[in-house]
Structure formats: C-alpha cells, structure tokens
Amino acid sequence: MSTGRHSVDHDGPDPQHQRPPGVCDTTVDALGALSKSLETTERARGHLYAFHQLTGRADLGLDDAVRLLREAGHHREADLVEREILGRNVIPGHWTYQIVEAYNATYYRPFAAVELEVRDRLAAGRDHLYEAEMKERRRTRRHPGHTALPD
C-alpha cells in the first residue's frame, strides 16, 4: 500500500543526487567547488541587477526633482540636473542594462555552460553531489525532521 511517502527501506538520496560509479572524492570536491563558485556568481549577478534597478529608479526619480525645481522657480538648477545627470551613462557609452547584458554574455552564461559541461562529463550531469553526501553524513536516520527526501 502506497501512502505517497517514501518507504523506510529507502532512506537515502534520490538517484540524481547519488555519485555515479567511478567518481572519486576529489572529483566530488572539485564539482562542489565549481558549483559554489557558480553560486557566488549568481549572487554577484543579483547584485548587478539590483544596481541596474536602483540606478534606473534613481534616474526616473530625477523627473520629480527637475519638475519640483522648476515649480520652485529654480530653472537654472533644473536645467543643470536635466542636462548633466538625467539619462546619463553610468560608464562611458553604457546604461546599466548594457552592463547587465555584457556581463551575462561575456561571463555569466559561459560560466554556467562550462559548469554544466564539466558536470555532464564527470558526474552524468548530477548536481549538488557534495551537498547531498554532506546531508547523508549529517542527518539522523529515521528521524522525521531528517528525512532524505521530501514527502
């Protein structure tokens, strides 16, 4: 009778998180280090998107600043902000979206593709082997809060 839960006799990781035959500890460690580096790149990419969005929000906020300066009679200062800052490149020739696009094309996508290729070659494409094995070492078997797999 199946209850939808994993049986007690299968108290280990799913096959996608098990080391393929012939994969040594050093390879698992190397794949873990590569994955960790990609995860750090993912975080950096998130910060880059935050930079992009915050800079865009600041630039759009200048519309209010210019309008309010004009309403207050400060036309010279409004013109200065509008001419010198509103819509300005953040680095020569680039708005933030162009930086994001260049980062994705030049660094992020190639990094992700190489990580996947190395994982495919060395571990049959299996991801997070290092973490899955750490989970197995650290969990308490048959404890409801330490199950190998979700219900």
Give the pLDDT score at 95: 98
| C-beta separation of 70 from 12 below 8 A | no
* 63 has pLDDT over 70: yes
Give the pLDDT score at 109: 98
* 62 has pLDDT over 70: yes
* 9 has pLDDT over 60: no
- Least confident stretch, 9-13, 51-55, 76-80, 98-102: 9-13
Map out the domains of the chain as residue ranges.
Answer: 24-131
SS3 sequence of the chain: CCCCCCCCCCCCCCHHHCCCCCCCHHHHHHHHHHHHHHHHHHHHHHHHHHHHHHHHHHHHHHHHHHHHHHHCCCHHHHHHHHHHCCCCCCECCECHHHHHHHHHHHHHHHHHHHHHHHHHHHHCCCCCHHHHHHHHHHCCCCCHHHCCCCC
pLDDT band at 12 (very low <50, low <70, confident <90, very high): confident
* Whole-number average pLDDT of the chain: 92
In whole angstroms, what is the distance from residue 138 CA to residue 26 CA? Answer: 20
Q: Mind listing the pLDDT tens digit for each residue in 69-105?
A: 999 999 999 999 999 999 999 999 999 999 999 999 9
- 94: β partners: 91
In whole angstroms, what is the distance from residue 120 CA to residue 82 CA? Answer: 52
Amino acid at 137: R
Give the pLDDT score at 14: 85
